[in-house]
Amino acid sequence: MKNSMYCTRSVSAVLTLLLGACLQIPAQTQKAGTANNTQARPPARRGLAGGNGQYKQYPPEVLENGHKIFSQNCAFCHGANAKGGETGPDLLRSVIVLDDENGEKIGQVVLNGRPDKGMPKFNMTQDQISEIAAFLHDRIRAAALRGTYQILNIVVGDAKAGEAYFNGAGGCTSCHSVSGDLAHIGSKYDPVTIQQKIVMPREQRYRRGVAPAPETAPVTVTVSMPSGETFSGKLDHIDDFTVALTDANGDYHSFPRDGDVPKIETKDPLKAHTEMLTKYTDSDIHNLTAYLITLK
């Protein structure tokens, strides 16, 4: 009898231990799983938006100033819209820009340059850097929310004022003709495409059911060697240390630079458009658009 009771108590004790262990395992597994999930989550970008996806809003005048400063100093390499240019990368995908807050990280690159990548130093104030940062952050916000963006009616300008600007202060007639290259442009392209070609002539916006704008002529370069030999073609890359081009036969050439040797001459067919980016007002752009769409 004693042996029987002893066995029963022993079995009960073992069952109790096993049951307790089984009850503890799920709790331990859940805690471990929670810890792993927490570690797997990437930290939120503090420069642009937190976990709730709320993007910072900037005053229009700050964005306009930032766009002008960027156009004057950065657009040649990084593109008019910061999405990459002839030599510079897409800044809207840059980790530095994504992690930036009020220009603190962007400023380090702007003020110190990146000699290893051919980027020079720029002497800018903190306000200028902050405005460039605001422009870049706003471009990232627009790209992130593009799925909810709707293009509204952009034909809000004065066609008569646009015609006067085209023939006068804008200097458009020095390169264009309403009876030549721009004849019937209002029938060929929609207002969005026409306005894009005014402010972002090298970027293409492809939209279903809408004819794409014509390809723009590339930047060309002529490299004159001390020996008298010259090479010409489409500019692929240029910085303080190297210049590279692709000639008419499709051959790629790269040359080291030492000061003014070899002699470099570049030609940008869209130079006038690039220079106008710092002079256009919103009214000029809208008026030009309103005028050009009347050229049926």
Mean pLDDT by 10 residues, the chain (296 residues): 40 42 41 40 46 72 89 82 78 88 90 85 92 90 67 79 93 90 90 83 54 66 95 90 92 92 90 80 90 93
CATH of the domain at 225: 2.30.30
* Pairwise CA distance, residues 86 & 157, whole Å: 32
Nearest Cα to Cα of residue 75 among 277, 281, 280, 284: 277
* Pairwise CA distance, residues 200 & 274, whole Å: 8
Q: Kindly list the distances between the CA atom of residue 222 and the CA atoms of 119, 225, 253, 287, in Å, as whole numbers in the listed order.
A: 22, 10, 11, 37
196 and 278 belong to one structural domain: yes
Tell me the sheet residues that pair with 228: none
DSSP letters of 248-270? Answer: TTS-EEEEE-BTTBSEEEEE-TT
pLDDT the model gives residue 87: 74
Both structure tokens of 48:
């642009």
pLDDT the model gives residue 243: 92
Q: For the chain, how big is the Rg over CA atoms in Å?
A: 30
163 and 287 belong to one structural domain: yes
236 and 286 belong to one structural domain: no
Domain boundary among 148, 180, 199: 148
284 and 173 belong to one structural domain: yes
pLDDT tens digits for 191-222?
888 888 887 776 555 444 444 545 567 889 99
* Pairwise CA distance, residues 142 & 136, whole Å: 10
pLDDT the model gives residue 164: 95
170 and 282 belong to one structural domain: yes
Contact of 295 with 163, CB cutoff 8 Å: no
CATH of the domain at 97: 1.10.760.10
139 and 84 belong to one structural domain: yes
**Residues 6+ away with beta carbon under 8 Å from 215:** none
| Backbone torsion region of residue 162, taken as left when φ is above 0, otherwise alpha when ψ lies between -120 and 50, otherwise beta | alpha
pLDDT the model gives residue 156: 84
In eight-state DSSP terms, residue 114 is: B
Number of domains into which the chain is organized = 3
224 and 208 belong to one structural domain: no
174 and 233 belong to one structural domain: no
User: What domain range includes position 252?
Assistant: 220-267
**Domain assignment of residue 27, yes or no:** no
* Pairwise CA distance, residues 221 & 228, whole Å: 16
198 and 254 belong to one structural domain: no
Contact of 221 with 233, CB cutoff 8 Å: yes
**Domain assignment of residue 42, yes or no:** no
Four-residue CA torsion sign, 109, 115, 120, 125 = positive
